[in-house]
Amino acid sequence: MKKINIIIIIIFLTHLTSAQHGVSELPSPKEKGQEFFVSNPDYVINQQTEDSLNVVAQEIELKSSSEFAMVIIEDFIGDDDFEYALEVFKSWSIGKSQNDNGLLLLVAKKRKVYRFITGYGMEGVLPDAMLKRIGETYLVPNFQEGRFDEGMLKAAAAIHTILTGDVESEELFAKTLQSSFWDRNLENLIYSLLIFLLGFMILKWMSYQIIKKVPIGKKPTNQRSDVYQQFRA
């Protein structure tokens, strides 16, 4: 009985350890062949979704020569998701070397984070504002509800649309520009509103202090105030 318990504990600890991946231990999809682009060692998404994502990435490479790699894991070793994703991007040499047109999407389920990494050749086609829009539109709401398969498929479809030059990408880009304007200026607008409210409160307090200094039963000497008081009476 004790041996069985020990075996169960060992299996459990092994599972926990395997769910946290270092860059060097993370399985590259290219180990299966050049037509594979998805690393899903913890089976966060099902096999059918993984196959569909590979097909999407294959079409992207065929039509645009860009390479879109996806990593979906439970957790990773380290504290910084950006540094981890960047190391994976460099280690796997994602994208064609002459064009630097690689794109990586890292999803860490346990940490509830995702991260896009792009090569310099992709920045004009997929700027940060557009990737942020894709993440907020397709990844975040689905991931929050535990729908990792749906989130990945929808985000990959949006990226496919943009990189293959479909007309629909223009509409998405227009929406991205509109949302990015508010993203850039929202903080300034909030500060301006706070300053306005603070100034209004100060003016109101100063007016209250002036009124307090006027003796009760006596009219203020200001003629405009007299007229105002007489009109009210």
- Quick check: is 190 in a domain? no
Q: What is the DSSP string of 56-99?
A: HHHHHHHHH--EEEEEEESEESSS-HHHHHHHHHHHHT-S-TTT
Mean pLDDT value of segment 40-58: 96
Reported pTM: 0.66
- Quick check: is 228 in a domain? no
What are 71's strand-pairing partners? 39, 106
Res. 225: pLDDT tops 50: no
Q: What is the pLDDT of residue 195?
A: 82
CATH number at residue 85: 3.10.310.50
Condensed to tens digits (0 to 9), the pLDDT of residues 180-193 reads 444 445 566 676 77
Q: What is the spatial distance between Cα 208 and Cα 96, in angstroms, rounded to a whole number?
A: 70
Domain range for 106 is 15-173
- Quick check: is 213 in a domain? no
The CA-CA-CA angle for residues 156, 160, 163, to 5°, reads 135
